[in-house]
Copies of this chain bind each other. A is one copy, B any other.
Amino acid sequence: MFYHDDELQFEVTVEDPNPRFAKLLQQAIGGAEGEMRVALQYMFQAFAVPQEKQEIRQFLMETAVEELGHIEMLATAVSKNLQDASDEARREAGEDAIIDEMMRNGQPRQALSAGLHAMPVDANGNPFTGNYVVASGNLAADLYANVMAESTGRLLATRLYEFTDDPGMEEMLEYLIARDTMHQNQWHAALEALGEHRPVPNSFPQEKENQEYNYAFMSTYKDERDDPDQPWTQGEAPDGKGEFSYTPRQPGGGQPDLDEMIDEMYNEVN
C-alpha cells in the first residue's frame, strides 16, 4: 500500500519563471526518458516478483516510489516556471509578457488544457503511453531495461541542465542527476549479483538454438568485405559461451513461396 506526506523530496525554487523551460521539463515528466516511465516501470516489475524474492520486490518498489516523488518535484517546477509571485504582483508587472512568451515558446496546452500547470505529456505534448513501460517478467531483461531508462534519463537531465541558468533549477537537476547516477549503479549491481545471466533469458537451453550462427557477425554490406577486425567479429564473446566470427552472409532461405490466397479474401492480383 502507498502513503505520502506534505513535503517534497528536495527543494524546488525558480528565480526567473521561463515558460520555454517549463515545456522542456515536461520531457522529464511524461516523455520516453521521464519519471512517469520509470515510476510505473519499476512498479509493474515489482508487482510480478514472487513472494520468495521479497527483497527484490522491495528493491524495485522503493525506487519506484522515489520516482513518484520526482514527478511531484518536476510538476512543481513546471508550475513555478509558468507563474510569477502573487496574482497581484503579476498584474502590476504586466502579466501579458509571460502569457505572450507562453504562447510563443511554451506548450499551448499548458495554458489551454491545464491552466498553466504540469501535464502527463512530453515536451512535444505527446501523451504519456503505457508503451514506455517494460516489465517482462524476466528480472535480467528488466534490469537491462532499467539501466537503459536511467542512462537516457540522466542524459536528458544533463541536456536540460544546459538549457537553464536559473540557480534553483540547476540545484534541482544536480540532485536528479545524482539520483540517476545512483540508480544506474544499483541496477548494474543487481545484474552483477544475479551472476551468470547471459544471454538473456539464460534458462532457455542454449543447445537448442542454431549453433552455426549464434556467435557470427554477419555482414549485410552490398559487396563482400573483409573482416573489419572489431571486438564484435573476433575473440571470446562477453557471455563466455562462444567465439565471435565474421561471415559475409549469403542468403540461404530460398525465395518466399506463397500461394494465392482463397477467393473469399478478394485478393485478386491479376
Contacts and interface: CB of A to CB of B under 8 A. Distances in A.
Interface string A158-177: 11111100000001001101
A254 B51 CA distance: 12
12 contacts: A48-B115, A48-B117, A51-B255, A103-B163, A114-B137, A134-B152, A144-B151, A145-B152, A151-B201, A181-B209, A184-B199, A204-B266
Contacts of A145: 148, 151-152
Contacts of A3: 2-5, 65, 220-222
B51 A203 contact: no
Copies in the complex: 6
Contact of A4 (B199, B200, B222): B222
Interface in A85-126: 85-87, 90-91, 95, 99, 103-105, 107-109, 111-126
Interface string A180-203: 111011101110111101111111
A4 B113 contact: no
A122 B109 contact: yes
Given A119-B130, A181-B206, A270 B194 contact: yes
A200 B230 contact: no
A33 B123 CA distance: 20
Q: 9 closest A-B pairs (Cβ-Cβ)?
A: A115-B137, A8-B253, A124-B125, A127-B130, A120-B130, A178-B214, A128-B130, A48-B117, A151-B200
Nearest to A51: B257
A125 to B, nearest CB: 3
A38 interface: no
A226 interface: no
Contacts of A221: 3-5, 58, 62
Given A109-B124, A115-B267, A148-B144, A154 B85 contact: no
A206 B261 CA distance: 20
Given A1-B4, A62-B219, A254-B8, A103 B105 contact: yes
Interface string A53-94: 111101101110110110111011001100111110011000
